[in-house]
A = this chain, B = another copy of it.
Amino acid sequence: MEQYPILSRINTPADIRGMDYSQLEALCTEIRHFLVENVSKTGGHLASNLGTVELTLALHRVFHTPEDTLIWDVGHQCYTHKIITGRREQFDTLRQPGGISGFPKPSESIYDAFTVGHSSTSISAAYAVSCVNHMKNNGLFSVAVIGDGAFTGGMAYEALNNAGRSKNNLVIVLNHNSMSISKNVGAFARYLSVIRSKPSYLRLKEQTEKLLDHLPFFGVRIKEWLRTSKSLLKFLLYHSTFFEELGFAYFGPVDGHDLPKLEQTLRRARELHKPAFVHVETIKGKGYEYAEKNPMAYHGVSRFDVETGNPDVAAADSFSVTFGNLLTRIADTDERICVVTAAMREGTGLSLFAQEHKNRFFDVGIAEQHAVTFCAGLASKGMLPVFAVYSTFLQRAYDQLLHDAAIDQLHIVLAVDRAGLVGDDGETHQGIYDIAFLSSIPGVTVYAPTTYKELEVLLRRAIYQTPGVTVVRYPKGSEPQKKIQGSNPSNDYSNWNKDGKIAAISYGRIFHHLFQAAGNLEQKPSVYQLHKVLPLSEKLISELMQYSKILFFEEAEKTGSISEQLCFALMERGYRGEFKAKTLPSGFIKQGKVEDLLKQWQLDAESIQTILREELET
């Protein structure tokens, strides 16, 4: 730590509250070095954290954390926050198994007020905390820090609408990145730019207030009169932005890298003791000069899907890019194909599609609810919409799938990426619940490829041969290296060995492990690979009735799993044999390498082989 003389002495925010600006400036430099050094090893979100160094320090200096509550939206920009709240020395364990999380986590620190990971939740939580503070009349503050990307999610607006009429000590900090605002983030992004471009108009208010602040006695009274009167002057002064219309005092835009100015603005917002909205402009990746010294580390994490918390761009050898390129080819000859993404163009492999079929590529912002109903609308007019979405984010659109698409059997296709365990991002991002929640929606069909070849067949089958809400789900990363050949995904399932005395079943990524495991055994089970996971094949069920023992291996949470549904279906038909399943638990799974997690839950090839051997012997 000798290269970080100042940082190495910071153990709690109290340590930075007494520092002067020259020390703080040096501290910011050290923190940027520290971030680049560490994130280059652990991976993670570099650019967004380089952009919020000063903002984090300013917030912890102006507000008295942890008594005042600080809630980060999405949370991937919390690294500086973690570094100065006692986790500097564990920072090399970021996102590692057993290490600290890449997101705020209350179980990790009292400074992490709320679990985050998904977008647009911070204002709801911060407003709730401000209500509690108000009820208790304890004078404490509640602060939400939210990016302009997260403002495309409707929840943020629900919360603003609810909070704006309160009198609580609530401060919303808009972290407005000047960099990487994609054109299609939507109309709100443009609105924020409009605000930015008319500072003189906004400064009028600031200057008037400052002037009045310097007029003792009368100044206060004039300000009070201005605030309460119905004059046009008041209207111009206090209704110049949408946030003011909603009841927030608006401050900004302020340079998010000018620490003194930033703190001054936050202090003014704090002094108001009513809902305030502070518009901060930051530059993602601020501090390039350090990143430039270590280009490999920087480039590894340099491209972002705007604000969604996902720095990883899908590799060329991945299900994501295979899907995206394939869909582009299908769209070449079918003008009904449209693709929708909720701000995840890169992550879901849609760069090529966006380029070649620009008019049928729709990035709707971080708005999964709207995305699904938008697809339903396209389908209602005969288009063939495909929504490419991570499993974990699809959770946001449960009602829209059920209510807007499934009731009318509108044919929309969901390309569910990152299905199953995802690894480093931990509990908030595991894609292990989609099987359960999709199963509860009547009429949904789910396909699960194990290889790229199967993905191709199943995607076409989903688009052209399946009615209603149809899902193709596949894991993060690439197909198995040892390829499986000879499956027939045009059928609902493939049967690889029919003469086993017991039946072993799986689908998707785990099927490959089962296939390997069974291949190594002398005495083999009958091996079934599901291509269509839902609804269950009647033919399969009758075929399975003949076995006295059935084993199911599944990378999904236990409750609501296909294992559970198949077991029930068999019992309904009078099955009296044994039925055993290895699934993931009905619980939350922490960060870790996917291979390790699968091993832990006995879903790796070796564990499956051991289980098969035991079950074949008894």
Chain A residues within CB distance 8 Å of chain B = 69, 106-107, 113-115, 117-118, 121, 124-129, 131-133, 135, 152-165, 184, 186-188, 190-191, 194, 198, 235, 239, 242, 245-247, 335, 338, 359-360, 362, 364-365, 367, 369-370, 373-378, 380-383, 395-396, 398-400, 402-404, 406-408, 427-428, 433, 436-437, 439-443, 557, 559-560, 563-565, 567-568, 571-572, 574, 576, 578-581, 585-588
Contacts and interface: CB of A to CB of B under 8 A. Distances in A.
B121 A378 contact: no
B402 A395 contact: yes
Contacts of A442: 557, 559, 585-588
Nearest to A378: B128
Nearest 10 pairs between A and B by C-beta?
A154-B154, A128-B377, A164-B187, A436-B440, A158-B367, A158-B370, A124-B373, A395-B399, A125-B377, A398-B398
B576 A576 contact: yes
B440 A440 contact: yes
Contacts of A440: 433, 436-437, 440, 557, 559-560, 586
A272 B397 CA distance: 33
A538 to B, nearest CB: 14
Given A132-B377, A395-B398, A403-B428, 15 more contacts: A113-B380, A118-B403, A124-B377, A127-B374, A128-B374, A132-B378, A132-B381, A132-B382, A135-B360, A153-B154, A158-B367, A162-B362, A440-B559, A559-B565, A576-B576
B427 A407 contact: yes
Interface of A is mostly: helix
A121 B400 contact: yes
A435 to B, nearest CB: 9
A191 B245 contact: yes
A408 B106 contact: yes
Question: Which has the most chain B C-beta neighbours within 10 Å: A129, A158, A395, A442?
Answer: A158
A146 B335 CA distance: 31
A480 to B, nearest CB: 28
Contacts of A441: 433
6 contacts: A124-B404, A131-B378, A159-B373, A162-B374, A433-B440, A439-B559
B571 A567 contact: yes
A113 B380 CA distance: 8
Contact of A374 (B106, B125, B560, B586): B125
B367 A187 contact: no
B403 A117 contact: yes
B115 A377 contact: no
B186 A165 contact: yes
A538 B117 CA distance: 34
Contacts of A574: 578
A114 B377 contact: yes
A433 B433 CA distance: 16
A586 to B, nearest CB: 5
A158 B397 CA distance: 13
Given A568-B567, A580-B572, A437 B398 contact: yes
Contacts of A568: 563-564, 567-568, 579, 581
Contact of A161 (B152, B163, B239): B152
A513 to B, nearest CB: 21
A484 to B, nearest CB: 29
A144 to B, nearest CB: 10
A162 B370 contact: yes
Contact of A125 (B165, B198, B404, B407): B404
Contacts of A399: 118, 395-396, 398
A547 to B, nearest CB: 14
A406 to B, nearest CB: 8
Contacts of A587: 442-443
A155 to B, nearest CB: 5
Given A440-B560, A581-B572, A186 B164 contact: yes
A127 B377 contact: yes
A395 B437 CA distance: 11
Contact of A155 (B118, B165, B187, B370): B370
Nearest to A71: B377
Contacts of A161: 152, 186-188, 365, 367
A382 B563 CA distance: 39
Nearest to A569: B564
B162 A367 contact: yes
Contact of A407 (B115, B155, B563): B115
A467 to B, nearest CB: 14
A124 B188 CA distance: 16
Question: Which has the most chain B C-beta neighbours within 10 Å: A400, A407, A436?
Answer: A407
Contacts of A187: 160-165, 245-247
B565 A571 contact: no
B242 A242 contact: yes
